[in-house]
Amino acid sequence: MPSFYLMSLFQKQKEKYCRRHAKARQDLDDFVAQVGNEEVAKVFRSYVADIPWGFRLNGERLPEVPGEGVAFLDEFLRLNRQEAVPIWKIRHSAFSFYEPLTPPYVLWCYGLNWDDIELMEEDRKLPVERVAELLEMLVDREPVVSVSDWEKTFGRKRRRLVWLFQTAIRLEEDLVCWM
């Protein structure tokens, strides 16, 4: 997924949640170690791997989790969610913007695709001058591709991208871009 980051602000967001994520990760690792990797694998195999594909393909109800696995599975899923929340908060901060590689995505609606964005320097940064050009395009032009089925999501994503570009210009900071 291509993504843009305001690295100085993104790092602050990352530092904010880093300890929380490390603790949640350690709790999950401790739980798995306490139960034992073989026991973890056995519970997942008994529930997931041994389910016939027909259940999944036909939309039938999945079999019940074995009684001895319910408490384990509940605790594992709770700890897994606890570990995933800080990562989600880091990745979905206002200081980063993710787009899919395949259309529709915001810049595609304006007639650009990821290969067209040859505005990046070798170090995977989008210089502030180029950010200003893209911002001008987003603000002054109308989309060239209709997004009727995607209108609500497009509007929200476009506003987030405009905000990110405006903030980069205000801070005079290049955007880091990962593909």
Distance (Å, rounded) from C-alpha 125 to C-alpha 161? Answer: 16
Residues 10 and 96 sit within 8 Å (Cβ to Cβ): yes
* Per-residue pLDDT tens digits for 40-91: 666 666 655 555 555 555 555 555 666 666 777 788 788 888 988 988 887 7
What global pTM score does this model have?
A: 0.66
Summarize the confidence of residues 172-178 as an average pLDDT: 88
* Per-residue pLDDT tens digits for 89-122: 877 777 888 888 888 889 899 988 887 776 566 6
Report domain extents, the chain: 8-91, 99-178
Distance (Å, rounded) from C-alpha 9 to C-alpha 94? Answer: 9
Higher pLDDT, 155 or 49: 155
Distance (Å, rounded) from C-alpha 75 to C-alpha 59? Answer: 26
